[in-house]
Structure 1
């Protein structure tokens, strides 16, 4: 470590250390700085170093170390208070509050010592002239920890009644603790009302709204506000993730996940903070953490995952069952230590209650993907109503009857029912032997259907059994189904050849009344399906002959069943499917509107027949066509119908796709909040489907975008960071990757994480660099430059702005070029280089020249007016830059020359804005006020007053709407202030 040579370097080192992440490294550095301070032989240096050490200990896992430096500080105060400056004297009294809380956290400190300390705090605060507010707040903390509700309520009232002074905690921290107490008492709505100003950003501090967001999670769930709880988790966890001292708030987020069916997410959180299992500097927060670990592990065990590998204390591998016992044991031992100190069982009771909580939601989708998802649970969808025990022979007739009932009415569980019949027949050979040939034909037929392309031979066996049973029509239908599965396997020509003979035979049989319409329709439908396969497999344009053959086949089915569909659900299904085929052929042929109408008829046909689950596919196709036609309302109706008709029979992947499409549609309609809800559902069901990350990643990408559009930056950032590893060029295209990075950069920029924002924007720009169209590349380079500048990296920012400027110039975009030059000018002014002001001046001059040239070259009046306004802004910024640069010059003559030049630029800006007219009114008056203040700096009150009066006159008769009222009022107020200063009636 480099030695500290003087007090100023010590202060700089402490300031730098304060900016480091919380943790042992920062604490160790504070200890080194104290040793260096002691070498300076300056009492105040030691005092400040001790105070710094106290602060970093308090905000770390080594909170127990606070007491030694504080005792030393207090002794120094008692011995030589004159060594403390005003700030350190205030800080010393401030830290009394930390000591009270810190003592409560340490069960080895006797309760009598804490009460004595509380009295000492009250005495010293009274001597220093401070209000009782902080004392009553500390007393409340003691009483609440002990479970002494009466004393806690009394202290709470005293706390609120006492005056706020400089020793009171900040508004945000006070409101957090007040809301926490209301929540503890079960008054959740009151708690959230108290927390509202913190949650909305009215009051913040270094640890708020972090703690409030965490504390609000369970109250929101108990009030049924699951959407808000989800948002608070995504927003709040982001804030506490890197803050070592916030183990208690971290535990709240783990608890939230455990109570909402997000056990996999909770395991990820545990894995991120392995030290939290064992850090013992704050036993109370360790108790909180281990209690929720026990809660989570018990939840996993209840789900049958006791053997699941889970993150745990270092040194060994843990299963959920093992960690459940360990965490409960540690939590209860810690609680017992507090109980022994406190003289009651209150802490243990609270710990047990927390560990034994019931889940508050079976599954609350969060929109982020959990990487270490536990083993999937069995499907909880209700199975077909078939007896499970198929080994009992008398059950076979009942199973057979149930299977026939389900297949006769085309119920979704029919195939499972026939599989149960097959198992029962196989389990009891004697009873199975009693099955008729027709029974065995049905069993083989349905087994073949279940096997799909692999069931061709079974269809032939079923056909033989049907023939043996005397049903020639069903035998032909079974062989036609076999032909269709050959087409599905890729042999379309062979399938067509096979079905051709069957087609002629069934028509002849039907004409001789040797079979019924059902069997005939089945063969005709198989033939139509095979012809549609040829259409599907055609590359490029579909041959007119193929399309015509398929259409004729579909119409033949339709002609056969029309008029009979109302009597028979199977015939109704054939009719609806035929309409769907005609719809697809119409759409493929370019008649999108006819296709949409036919898909609507097909869906209505299935729904009208009591088969709504079959309508889902065609309602989804209808939605696509409606969207293509610009009928977003129609697309929305179709997608909602698809979700409704699918019901419990809809597979997770289908549900995900429908929600994703519906989200995109309502997003186009401007309903971003609703769109986000559908994208969230899509992400959830995609994960439930467990069929690869592509669909879920796209849903998260969409969800992030909808959250961005609502300005929900922290939530969007969590979702987009979760999506980013799985949104790949291979599965989603470069454009999706760039858009995800772009949105994420915007989020991080809004959250003040500028280095991270720059990284995402630079990564996106690197991808866009290879695109033929360079607009996105230029924009991303410019945005990355902004982030680099805000991150305190001026050299990197200047290079990025220079690159953006080159791109803007090549694109013929003068606005981007001028703005990049202005930004580089301001960066140059911030550099320590002595040539910074001259470089800044040169860059701003280039901006003026570039904008002037573009304005003169503009052929369009509207474009010329926009460039004139841009020129006005450039002159205005030039004025501000010159004034800023001049203010830092020690030479008074140089300062006056700089102000005079700045005034010239401000006047030019006024003239340029004036030429634009009414649209530039606010910009013109802003430049006039800037000129007025420069006149006062140059000692020209009359000229300054003239500028002020000109602004007031500009707004004298202004008719402004509500949106403009505030800026107008602000302009008038500033003009009046300038006028008072110019006339000697006020000060700048």
Structure 2
């Protein structure tokens, strides 16, 4: 085998074991290029078979068609040299099924071209001896997409009567497609039934069940199945949101948000997925679907009272071919109208090609859907995150806005500062140039800063600040924040030599030295430098610059744990006239101080006001995201998890928009959503956090924490199958990180679920492993106790002889640690184990012991369960009369403990016992209590 062939085969192995996505696409492209370079057409054939599948899954229609055509030409010319099926590369005839749909998705292809592909597909299938199912499905999809509904109905019926074969669509796809067709033709009940069967049986494939779930959202709503609709939306969007080929699926989820009162979430989804409108130039059908959905959602946002909001990202250059050029982001109401027009243009082009009015009618039906309203709150977004800055019209307004942004530390100040400098007076140029250089350095645009510095120095000289100009010539960008961690000695020398310098120059040096000292950890010294700088600036008549030094003093004092002193300066600052930008910084500082003092509610209020100020200024996404993150943390500490979730969500979206990491924020979001009893929403956030952590190769121990919380979210969503897998994954990650206690905790939780599923062998293995990890750890006694108890239960289910030994270990551990409730619970388990071994007398006595233990621990409701067990055991050995008092006690204790289901069950059983004893009046009396 040649070197090229060896490398290509190695790439094939890597491709076949890599999930669909950018990494896999890059590997495929590399394999095709190497095969072309080698001149080996058979290897290129195998590479292109993979490329066709890859392009189909990623939504690159142009590449898919090109790759398929190359393969088909080689197969037709030499079927033996280029066979239709090459495992595991792909199956050319299976790939044929995607071609007509791809051509039909763009009005650039004529009906004759589509028909020719379908006829050619049928001829190839017949020559290969393949049944008609695959071709019939392709013809059905074509007729339905073109609006030939009578033809599509006939083909759908023929498909139902046609035997399946190896080239039939999978069960998931068939049900999804038929469900979509039934919805369009007025058979929503049938669609709900089909999708229900699909979900119940776990059918899935490349884009299922997310596609089917998105199709069924509106039928669920119209049928009043709100919980099903909500769950379907959350799952569908979670599965679809990362692949641009799923644009139509996302569009249906956007419509769901728009008609269910979740307009803020709808807007967030629109902003996130706008770039997908230009992902696949030949998928015009999906573009029309998305444009209509986005327009409907924006109309809903406007109707909710926010037509003036701007749609972030709508002014991207890539979107100009879709919406046209625009000065800045589009307003909600403007973009809605533009999107409707764009969707209408595409629909008209399809209808001209197809000779029907299907696409236009679909768009009209979508508009009608916009009038539907259902109350299905998702509670993950609100409009507090999307305030629009008031327009700054005059130069004075623009100047005030730019300076405020700079004082807020926002990079959004840079562009307006540059613009204002073009016609600024000398004194104004000094102020603006200082802010500009500070912004450029803070954003690591050092080349630009170096290039601008001479202009700044010239402005200083022109304004009569020769000493400051000389200082900046010597120190350069250090005075604006560059390399301050290493500049302490240099700045101390400059301060010592500047005794006779002008007051404002000495103040500037001291303020800069104060920042350098923060890097060095000299917090008290930094505070003194900042205080002196503030005093000197005030003496020089520079009140605004004095405030800046005071902000530094607050930070330094807080770092030195001088919290009262920091609060005093904050109060002084907030009592003075401040720009909104500087007020935002001071409020954020006060919020952190309040958080440190446990004053979480007032801190959260300050953080929320910080957010409002930054949004009103139009600050950059990172700065706004940081403020949202602070507000979320304080609301979470205050016990307001749902409020925290909204802030964290907004922070994550801002960070994502800026290309900044979001994993930590999404983890916090998932935690807050879980605490807010929104586990489905938490799953979405935690999956995204884990995905980002994995891509960033975050250490295993950190990822384990995320996966463990993900497992908790699965539990909250009652998805226990995935919870088992998540706990196992967490255990593996903890093991990789060498964290035995975390591994043990994860294994115990995994084992619990395995036991509930009846997988007792695997459960015992998990518990034994956990106990082996932490059996001698005094600080893990709680985990050990839980593991021993669950192990005893699993062994009891298996009938293991040593189950009693494990029970006794658990009891000894509980008694040694005076864990009274735990001891009672283990005694209850021991009673059940004894009952299973037909040691009834011992079982009854032990159950009553457990009941007494629960009562002493203040849990009569659980004690009622032990009494009910004892009563049943007595009935089982024909001692019904003896059981009466225990049933009575169980009813009373269940009532006292608020355990109504157990009270009902005990009362019903007691009624049967009374009946058997001939005590009919008492039977009627106790039974009457069950319906009270």
Same fold (TM over 0.5): yes
Residue 786 of structure 1, aligned match among 729, 752, 768:
752
- The SS at the match of 2:500 is helix
The equivalent residue for 1:350 is 361
Q: Is structure 2 residue 736 aligned with structure 1 residue 763? A: no
The equivalent residue for 1:716 is 682
Residue 611 of structure 2, aligned match among 620, 640, 643:
643
Q: Is structure 2 residue 784 aligned with structure 1 residue 846? A: no
Displacement of 1:800? 1.0
Which deviations, in whole Å up to 9, do the C-alpha atoms of 1:150-171 show, x marking residues without a partner? xx9xxx9xx9xxxxxxxx989x
The answer to whether the Cα contact below 8 Å between 2:645 and 2:669 also exists between their aligned partners in 1 is yes
CA distance in 2, matches of 1:577, 1:709: 39
Residue 932 of structure 1, aligned match among 868, 871, 875:
871
Q: Is structure 2 residue 682 aligned with structure 1 residue 702? A: no
Q: Is structure 2 residue 646 aligned with structure 1 residue 677? A: yes
- The SS at the match of 2:839 is helix
Residue 534 of structure 1, aligned match among 502, 507, 516:
516
The equivalent residue for 2:73 is none
Q: Is structure 2 residue 467 aligned with structure 1 residue 476? A: yes
Q: 1:945 to 1:211 in 2, by over 3 A?
A: farther
Q: 1:600 to 1:447 in 2, by over 3 A?
A: closer
The equivalent residue for 1:419 is 418
Q: Is structure 2 residue 540 aligned with structure 1 residue 602? A: no
CA distance in 1, matches of 2:288, 2:629: 38
Structure 2: where are the runs of 5+ without partners?
A: 1-96, 99-139, 158-179, 257-264, 296-310, 323-339, 372-376, 382-386, 928-932
CA distance in 1, matches of 2:760, 2:596: 48
CA distance in 1, matches of 2:867, 2:214: 49
Aligned ranges 1:218-617 → 2 under 5 Å:
233-237=233-237, 252-253=252-253, 261-262=269-270, 265=273, 292=289, 295=292, 304-305=317-318, 347-353=358-364, 416=415, 419-420=418-419, 452=441, 467=461, 472=464, 474-480=465-471, 483=475, 485-487=477-479, 488=481, 489=483, 490-498=486-494, 504-506=500-502, 520=503, 522-539=504-521, 541=522, 548-558=528-538, 560=539, 571-605=542-576, 608-609=577-578, 611-617=579-585
Q: 1:262 to 1:357 in 2, by over 3 A?
A: farther
The equivalent residue for 1:70 is none
Q: 1:979 to 1:759 in 2, by over 3 A?
A: same
Q: Is structure 2 residue 622 aligned with structure 1 residue 653? A: yes
Displacement of 1:462? 5.4
Displacement of 1:708? 1.4
The answer to whether the Cα contact below 8 Å between 1:292 and 1:355 also exists between their aligned partners in 2 is no
Q: Is structure 2 residue 821 aligned with structure 1 residue 866? A: yes
Greater RCO between the two (CA within 8 Å, min separation 6)? 2
The equivalent residue for 1:623 is 591
Displacement of 1:532? 0.4
Q: Is structure 2 residue 915 aligned with structure 1 residue 980? A: yes
Q: How many residues align?
A: 688
The answer to whether the Cα contact below 8 Å between 2:517 and 2:523 also exists between their aligned partners in 1 is yes
The answer to whether the Cα contact below 8 Å between 2:831 and 2:847 also exists between their aligned partners in 1 is yes
CA distance in 1, matches of 2:399, 2:890: 86
Displacement of 1:704? 0.8
Displacement of 1:677? 0.5
Displacement of 1:660? 1.1
CA distance in 2, matches of 1:586, 1:946: 74
The answer to whether the Cα contact below 8 Å between 2:580 and 2:613 also exists between their aligned partners in 1 is yes
Aligned ranges 1:817-832 → 2 under 5 Å:
817=784, 819-821=786-788, 823-824=790-791, 827=794
CA distance in 2, matches of 1:739, 1:407: 42
The answer to whether the Cα contact below 8 Å between 2:887 and 2:907 also exists between their aligned partners in 1 is yes
Structure 1: where are the runs of 5+ without partners?
A: 1-59, 62-100, 119-140, 147-151, 160-167, 178-200, 279-286, 310-323, 369-378, 387-398, 426-434, 507-519, 565-570, 831-835, 883-897
CA distance in 2, matches of 1:756, 1:143: 32
The equivalent residue for 1:165 is none
Displacement of 1:814? 6.3
CA distance in 1, matches of 2:269, 2:893: 62
CA distance in 2, matches of 1:534, 1:296: 52
The equivalent residue for 1:128 is none
Q: 1:643 to 1:220 in 2, by over 3 A?
A: farther
Displacement of 1:365? 12
Aligned ranges 1:10-29 → 2 under 5 Å:
none
- The SS at the match of 2:639 is coil
The answer to whether the Cα contact below 8 Å between 2:275 and 2:319 also exists between their aligned partners in 1 is no
Displacement of 1:783? 1.0
Q: 1:326 to 1:634 in 2, by over 3 A?
A: closer
Q: 1:525 to 1:731 in 2, by over 3 A?
A: farther
The equivalent residue for 1:514 is none
Q: Which moved more, 1:631-640 or 1:738-747?
A: 631-640
Which deviations, in whole Å up to 9, do the C-alpha atoms of 1:411-462 show, x marking residues without a partner? 878865663466689xxxxxxxxx9x88998897777666557757966775
The answer to whether the Cα contact below 8 Å between 2:785 and 2:814 also exists between their aligned partners in 1 is no
Residue 922 of structure 1, aligned match among 861, 864, 867:
861
The answer to whether the Cα contact below 8 Å between 2:488 and 2:517 also exists between their aligned partners in 1 is no
Which deviations, in whole Å up to 9, do the C-alpha atoms of 1:69-125 show, x marking residues without a partner? xxxxxxxxxxxxxxxxxxxxxxxxxxxxxxxx999979999969989x99xxxxxxx
The answer to whether the Cα contact below 8 Å between 1:217 and 1:232 also exists between their aligned partners in 2 is yes
Q: 1:788 to 1:145 in 2, by over 3 A?
A: closer
CA distance in 1, matches of 2:813, 2:430: 83
Calculate the aligned-residue CA RMSD, in Å: 6.1
